[in-house]
Amino acid sequence: MRVLGIETSCDETAAAVVEAGVGGNLPWRIHSSVVASQVEIHREWGGVVPEIASRQHVRDICGVVERALADAAASWSSIDAIAVTQGPGLIGSLLVGVSFAKSAAWAAGKPLVAVNHLAGHIESLWLEHGDLPTPAIVLVVSGGHTSLYVVPASGTYRLVGRTRDDAAGEAYDKVAKLLGLGYPGGPVIDRLAGDADPDAVSLPSTRLTHPDRNAPSREYRFDFSFSGLKTAVLRHVRHRQQALGVTMLPEVEVRDLAAAFQSTVVDTLVDRAFAAAKWHNAVAVGIAGGVAANSRLRAAAAERGRRAEMPVFFPSTHLSTDNAAMIAAAGIRKLAAGQLAPADLNAAASLPL
C-alpha cells in the first residue's frame, strides 16, 4: 500500500511517498519526503503572513509533488491513494493542498483520504518507531498547537488537554521577537539557552484550576496556558530596559532570560504530560510537533521517563516539524479503515481532533 501525502497547512509545502504492509500494517517505510520551507520568506515579516504563504504554496506544490514521486521512483499509476491535510491550519494554505489533491486524485483515478494535521503529528511517532505501547499519552506541541491526547490503541485519539491561548511554539516565536532574535524563535532560543542560567530570572508558570468558559464540560485538568508567561517576559524586558537605559539588553541577560523562559515551558510540558500519563494509566509517553525538536525538552522528558520507568518517544527532527510523510502515515490508517474523502472535500481551518 503506497500513499502520496500532501501537506500545506502552514508555511511548508510538503509531499512524501510512504509504503505500508498489506492492510496498512506496520512498519511503514518512507520512500521520499520533500519539504519546501517558506521560513526565509516569512522571516522578513517576523512571522507567517497567511496571504504570502498561500501564494507561495501555489508556486511550489507542483514541483514538490513531482520531486517526491521522482525520489520514490514512483509514478501516478503506482500509488494507491492520495492523503492530504484537510485542517486545522491557515485556510488559504490548506486550500492549495486540498484543491491539488482533489484534482490529482480525480485525474489519476485514485482514492482521496482527508487527514487531520494533528493526527499526522501523532502518527509521526508510529512512523518513526513502529507500534508504540498503548495506552499512550501523546503531546503534540508546535507553533499552532499544544494538545495532549490519550491513544488507547494505535490509530485512535482522545483529546485530554490543550492550550487555552498561545501554543508553546507560538510563545517561543513571540518571545524571540520581543528579544530581537528573529523568526522562528524555537531553534534560536534553544541554542542561546544552552549554557545560560535558567534560575537567573524567575518567571511564573500557569496551572489552570477552572473549566474553560467556552467549553465548560471539557476535562480541563491538563490544559495549558502560555500567554501569561509571554507577558511576564515582556514586562521583565521593559523593566530591565528602563533600569539600564538601553533598548538592547546585554547578551548575557538575553541568554539567561531565554534559558528561564525555556525551562518554564519545558517543565510545564513535561509535568503535565507525565501527570496525564499517570492519571490515564498510560504505559508510554510520546512527544511530537515542531517544539519536539527542542533539546531541553528531549533531555527533560527522557530523564523524567527514566525516573517514572516509562518509555518516552520522539520523532526524528525531520518528522517533528511539518512534513508530508506523517500525513501519508495517518492517511494509511484511514485508507486501511476504508475512510475515503468525497470528491467535494473542503479544507477546514479549525478541524477538531
Strands 284-288 and 312-313: parallel
Which region among 184-192, 235-243, 248-256, 277-285 touches ligand KG4 (by CB under 6 A)?
184-192
Q: Output the smallest distance, CB 121 to Zn ion, in A.
A: 6
CA 28, CA 271: separation in Å to the nearest integer? Answer: 31
Give the chain's count of helices (H) and strands (E): 11, 10
13 binds, among Zn ion, ligand KG4, none (CB under 5 to 8 A by kind): none
CA 112, CA 241: separation in Å to the nearest integer? Answer: 55
**Whose Cβ is closer to Zn ion: residue 142's or residue 206's?**
142
**Whose Cβ is closer to ligand KG4: residue 20's or residue 168's?**
168
Which region among 52-60, 61-69, 181-189, 270-278 touches ligand KG4 (by CB under 6 A)?
181-189
Q: Output the smallest distance, CB 223 to ligand KG4, in A.
A: 19
- Among positions 24, 92, 169, 198, the unique one binding ligand KG4 when judged by CB under 6 A: 169
Q: Output the smallest distance, CB 168 to ligand KG4, in A.
A: 7
173 binds ligand KG4 (CB under 6 A): yes
**Residue 155 vs residues 119, 137, 333: alpha-carbon distances, Å:** 9, 13, 7
**Whose Cβ is closer to Zn ion: residue 114's or residue 254's?**
114
186 binds ligand KG4 (CB under 6 A): yes
- Among positions 1, 10, 20, 34, the unique one binding ligand KG4 when judged by CB under 6 A: 10
- Among positions 293, 312, 330, 332, the unique one binding ligand KG4 when judged by CB under 6 A: 293
Binding pattern for the stretch 298-337 against Zn ion, x by CB under 5 A and - elsewhere: ------------------------x---------------
Would you state the cell numbers that stand for residue 11, as one nine-digit string?
Answer: 508555511
144 binds ligand KG4 (CB under 6 A): yes
187 binds ligand KG4 (CB under 6 A): yes
CA 146, CA 288: separation in Å to the nearest integer? Answer: 10
Give me the helix-helix angle, 50-71 and 91-108, nearest 10°.
30
Q: Are 304 and 139 in contact (CB under 8 A)?
A: no
CA 133, CA 282: separation in Å to the nearest integer? Answer: 9
Q: Output the smallest distance, CB 143 to ligand KG4, in A.
A: 3
**Whose Cβ is closer to ligand KG4: residue 24's or residue 143's?**
143
Helices within the chain (DSSP H only): 39-43, 50-71, 91-108, 117-129, 168-178, 185-193, 227-244, 251-279, 295-308, 317-320, 325-336
**Whose Cβ is closer to ligand KG4: residue 206's or residue 321's?**
321
Task: Dump the DSSP string for 319-334.
Answer: HHSS-SHHHHHHHHHH
**Whose Cβ is closer to ligand KG4: residue 110's or residue 117's?**
117
Q: Output the smallest distance, CB 124 to ligand KG4, in A.
A: 10
Q: Are 129 and 100 in contact (CB under 8 A)?
A: no
* Helix, strand or coil, per DSSP, at residue 149: strand
Site for ligand KG4 in 302-321 (CB under 6 A): 321
Which region among 92-100, 238-246, 269-277, 289-297 touches ligand KG4 (by CB under 6 A)?
289-297
- Residue 338 zone, left/alpha/beta (φ > 0; ψ -120 to 50; rest): left
123 binds ligand KG4 (CB under 6 A): no
CA 351, CA 353: separation in Å to the nearest integer? Answer: 7
Give me the helix-helix angle, 227-244 and 168-178, nearest 10°.
10
Q: Which residues would be at the binding site for ligand KG4 (CB under 6 A)? A: 10, 142-144, 169, 172-173, 184-187, 190, 289-291, 293-294, 321-322
